[in-house]
Structure 1
Amino acid sequence: MSPRSRASGDPQPPGDAPDEPLDEIAGIFDDMLRHARELLAVRSPLDAELIVSEILGSWWGRWPVDDDVDRLIGEALVGHAARAGTPAALALLTGMAYLGTTRQAVKAERAALELMDHGVARPGWADRVGMVVAEECFTSRDVYGDQDSIVCTFGYAGEERHALVVTVDHNRSGMVRDAWVSSQVDKLFEHCREEDRSNPLVVFRQMDPRDTRALLEHALTVTGEQDDPPVTDTFAAYHAFLRARVRALPPGGLPPRAPVHGRDWRATLAARFLASDEAEGLSDRSAAGRCVDRIIEFGCEDDHGRPLRVSPVKCELFLLDWLPRKVLLSPAEHDAMPHVLAAWVRWAARQTGLPSEGVRATLDAVWDATGRFTRLFRDPEAFGLDPSVVRRLLPDGELEALPRRAFALPFLSGEHHVPGRGRIDLATLDPADPADRRTMLEFEHPGAAEEHLAAHERLAVRLWNAEPPELWEAAQALLDAGQERHQILHRLIEVLERCRDDPDALRAALVALRHDPPPM
């Protein structure tokens, strides 16, 4: 968008007074304006946009999203440039009017118009910056479904044709990992088509630009939601450019949606596998059944509802990252898991038509990872807890639930006198059993009224099942803030009682509690 497109007399939105830069970052702004002098030497709007994107990317990803860095720094940069009043400052503002966030763009455009009214010279490319037209979109996709290299071409009224290449990683929730720009469009397409012809593991095909926009918007959102996204070192410099080019694609596409597979569907899929020729050689059928349940769970919950998708990278993530973090395997399950996974790879590949080259590469990855998987095996004693205690807290093997459940029900040993029943050894009780759980809570709260015990019981059940997950997140935030466990329990009970049966209100209250813990 050119600054000429808005009249300088437009009213200023409420609360849009010029921002004063923070003292500690004023020097950084001066460095950015010196960098912006390069904008006076270029003639191409594409080169100008890439320079501005690099400047805007200098702070991208360096602070958590909650800090609203774009508001604090980006809009303050607009004010700093406006006060500088130099041709380089005007050039930077002109680029920000197209590449910035919505608020940055409005402020930058207004500031640019004011500088122009004072006679500051505009760069030669100013009328063309952002005036791009989207052309075609393609994807170069590996047959595993691990990642897409999306290629979108653009031009300025038929001139300066260029390609934006974006890497979307489907093993990382569909996030953007990398982006770059090439002016050698024909050479890039020639390389992609040649790889499509010669490599059976790569497919190059055209995409609907509307669906491409929806996919990239979703992928950018996923990237932005992570505190420390695993992007390439150069990604920040292209982030603003990528965001603006995505907006230049036509709207109306369907964003990617993961299918939701319920318990019955998963059980049927597991039964089909266990009855297959590929699973015939698995000796411990009971352990194999539990292992395949975990494989399906991983595919449904962490791979967009695609348990049948197999790849070398996905299998390594499953064995070396997801399982050690989330699941406490029995010794029998640990021994069986690599063999079950290998059988699953062969069976799933037959269902999906994965080429034989892909099957071999995936099986190689499974066996290569098996040694490291064995070393990562978590013995219950590694937690500093008696193995029997761990088994009582994790009857479902959900490893990530261990600290949450130990927080909810920490008294798992000792003796408790119950009127009419005598002394009860807490070590013999099952915390997953409602009656035993009630006995544990009575031990922790001797003489408490029925209403008080019932409130603690409702909280314990919710913490045990992570319903909702924000409950344990709030508890951890309060622990980090120095609150004692009993205080935290009562804070959480108060929120539960206040929100009653309104799940949206409960989640909102817990998020607020997490971000603004009470003073000690």
Structure 2
Amino acid sequence: MPKKKHGRGHQPQRRRPIARPTRAADGLEDQQLIQTLRLALRSGEPLEFLAVVSGFLEVIDPRSRDPFARSEGRPGLDDLVESFIGTPYAETTAALTAIRALMTDELVAARIGREMETRRHPLPAWLDVLGQARLDPDVWFMTHVLGDGDDYLLGVTLPSGESLSALVYVDHNMGTVVKDAFVVPEPVEDLAIKMGTLIDEPDQSLTRTDPATARAVIEAAIDFGSALYPPLTSDSWPMCRPVVEWMLRMLPTGGVAPDRRDLSEQERAAIADAFFVSSYGAALDRVDERDLLESVLWFSTGYATGDPWRWSPVTVEMLLADWFPRKVIAEPSHLAKLPDLLRAYIRYCHDRNAIRADLTEETLAAVDRYEPAYLDLIHSDRQKSIAGLAEALLESERLKGLSDSEWTLEHLARDVGGVDALMSLDESALPDEEFDWSGIPEDIRPAVEAILEQCDGCADALFDVEHRTAMRRFLGRAARTDPKVFARKGSPARGAAAVAWVITTGNQTVGVWSAEMTARDLLAHFGVTGSVSDRAGTLMRAAGVPTGHATSSIELGDPGLLVSARRRSLMQSRDKALA
């Protein structure tokens, strides 16, 4: 398990954690694999054998596959089961028995059941009744006031008397995901006692919690974490995921995981106003600091714990060392004001939450620690940084076996929505097109019209008809797909600036690719300072445009939003790669 951070306690010494087995793809008849199963089975401890089987199941789990890798016909659960069926040893009989208990696929369970009727290998007493394991009544919950993450402890008892307990760590800084977990062969009450005796801070607590809620939270965190790439891994996670999920299925249903909702512009504005009228923020109530706090609130509610008032050394590191330099595009002189603002806001939040002074000083010390690196990043050549990132990505694809040309084509295809769209690109100009009001609810039309008017004015003053059409299409798509975005009260100027920023950045008309206009120049046309990344992200999600990238490089994913100059550039890059 990673080094302790706020939100998890000291860990007890692990006993026999789930270990990574030989991959199924290496051949199930291989004697080393059979020997692995045999040794685990002869150990006499259920966890030894379940560790190996859990590892096999995790390796063939579709959630463990690289989403960017080519299809290689990798084996699935059916292939694994058929391979064990085709190898009629005592070890594979035991493995099939464990698989039937751990998995939920009824067809696979029936197939294994029919095979078991033909086999006579003796099984350990615990394995023969694995499906009758019962849940221990108490689920334990350990947390910390700074809210980086929580530990959940749950256990089961086998009919033969052996106990298994799982500790699952749910990290909130990464969007509430399972970051680590392990299983030990002891009762959950014993594990809870060990955890409790190791708590050495008054800000941590270990209590019993509602089992149904614990199940809902952990299952949601597993699902969200499985969508991350690269995946979160440790010595035992996700190799123990099949065993943990088997244990979770014994918990009662009906629980509800806390909803992680996006705050509206009005709610974030109210938070900012409360800070700037306080003794902590009054001296900083200036335009730049308000713009910076808007981005800080975007980070804390959309990317970190979801709570704008929770700050720890971990969240400070995430903000200064990674998120802000990567996500917020503005002049260095503007961005350099962030550390002092953050110090004041942390003091305000900790006072509001009655956090101990020692923890406040520890969190402020993190600002001091990461400020120099942050200042270096914001003063570095942003274009060179982006080029360096592209080169790093290219190198990672080379390691996967992709040539430079193949990587280029895949990258270009993402920009236009797929390989077929890339191959059929043309460089004809976007037409002079009226705004399409079809499908847009009447109640949001005034808000959309106010944004549209300013977008048209921007295109006419700074760009051309093609950019105007692209802005109109993007705005219309967002309004039709997610009308509630426009039902909220918000500044039409900021909304229009966000639309223009998305389209011009996606077309590489503005920003680091342009010698003529910076993002700051664009926003100045609307009378907007700071960053509109927050509003832009909301509109992009509404319009179905991918948002999981640095905001200096937007992939619009639709040729209909690309002006002819941008499509011509993509075609030239495509043809060069094909050649």
TM-score, L = length of structure 1: 0.69
Give the Cα separation in 2 of the matches to 1:238 and 1:55: 10
Q: Write the deviation string for residues 341-363 of structure 1: whole angstroms up to 9, x where unpaired.
A: 11111110111122222111111
Correspondence for 1:227: 229
Answer whether contact 2:37 2:49 (CA < 8 A) is retained: no
Answer whether contact 1:87 1:121 (CA < 8 A) is retained: yes
Correspondence for 1:188: 191
The CA deviation at 1:230 is 2.4
SS of the aligned residue for 1:57 comes to: helix
Correspondence for 1:435: 457
> Is 2:316 aligned against 1:246?
no
RMSD: 3.9
Q: Write the deviation string for residues 325-355 of structure 1: whole angstroms up to 9, x where unpaired.
A: 1102333432321111111111101111222
SS of the aligned residue for 1:125 comes to: helix
What pairs up with 1:110-149 in 2 under 5 angstroms? 110-135=111-136, 136-149=138-151
Answer whether contact 1:211 1:255 (CA < 8 A) is retained: yes
Q: Write the deviation string for residues 436-460 of structure 1: whole angstroms up to 9, x where unpaired.
A: 4157764669xxxxxxx84774248
Give the Cα separation in 1 of the matches to 2:68 and 2:382: 38
User: Quick one: which of 269, 272, 279 aligns to 1:270?
Assistant: 272
Correspondence for 1:99: 102
The CA deviation at 1:200 is 1.8
SS of the aligned residue for 1:254 comes to: coil
1:62/1:28 CA distance change after superposition, 3 Å: farther
- The letter for the 1-side match of 2:374 is F
1:106/1:49 CA distance change after superposition, 3 Å: farther
Q: Percent identity?
A: 23
Which shifted more, 124-133 or 211-220?
124-133
Give the Cα separation in 2 of the matches to 1:173 and 1:81: 38
Give the Cα separation in 1 of the matches to 2:112 and 2:83: 10
Give the Cα separation in 1 of the matches to 2:337 and 2:461: 37
Q: Write the deviation string for residues 416-467 of structure 1: whole angstroms up to 9, x where unpaired.
A: xxxxxxxxxxxxxxx974234157764669xxxxxxx847742485953564
The CA deviation at 1:86 is 1.6
1:278/1:176 CA distance change after superposition, 3 Å: same
Give the Cα separation in 2 of the matches to 1:314 and 1:363: 11
1:271/1:133 CA distance change after superposition, 3 Å: same
Give the Cα separation in 1 of the matches to 2:34 and 2:127: 17
Q: Write the deviation string for residues 374-403 of structure 1: whole angstroms up to 9, x where unpaired.
A: 111156763699xxxxxxxxxxxxxxxxx9
1:365/1:85 CA distance change after superposition, 3 Å: same
- Greater relative contact order (Cα 8 A, min sep 6): structure 1 or 2? 2
The CA deviation at 1:116 is 3.1
- The letter for the 2-side match of 1:79 is E
Correspondence for 1:303: 304
Correspondence for 1:399: none
What pairs up with 1:45-444 in 2 under 5 angstroms? 45-59=46-60, 63-64=65-66, 72-100=75-103, 102-103=104-105, 106-135=107-136, 136-157=138-159, 159-185=161-187, 187-196=190-199, 198-282=200-284, 285-377=286-378, 382=383, 433-438=455-460, 442=464
What pairs up with 1:409-488 in 2 under 5 angstroms? 433-438=455-460, 442=464, 454=469, 457-459=472-474, 464=503, 465=536, 467-469=539-541, 471-473=544-546
Give the Cα separation in 2 of the matches to 1:384 and 1:239: 37
Give the Cα separation in 1 of the matches to 2:340 and 2:464: 46
Query: Please, which runs of 5 or more residues in structure 1 have no aligned partner?
Result: 1-23, 386-402, 408-430, 446-452, 477-482, 494-518
Q: Write the deviation string for residues 221-253 of structure 1: whole angstroms up to 9, x where unpaired.
A: 012111322221321321111111111111111
Answer whether contact 2:147 2:305 (CA < 8 A) is retained: no
Give the Cα separation in 2 of the matches to 1:35 and 1:381: 51
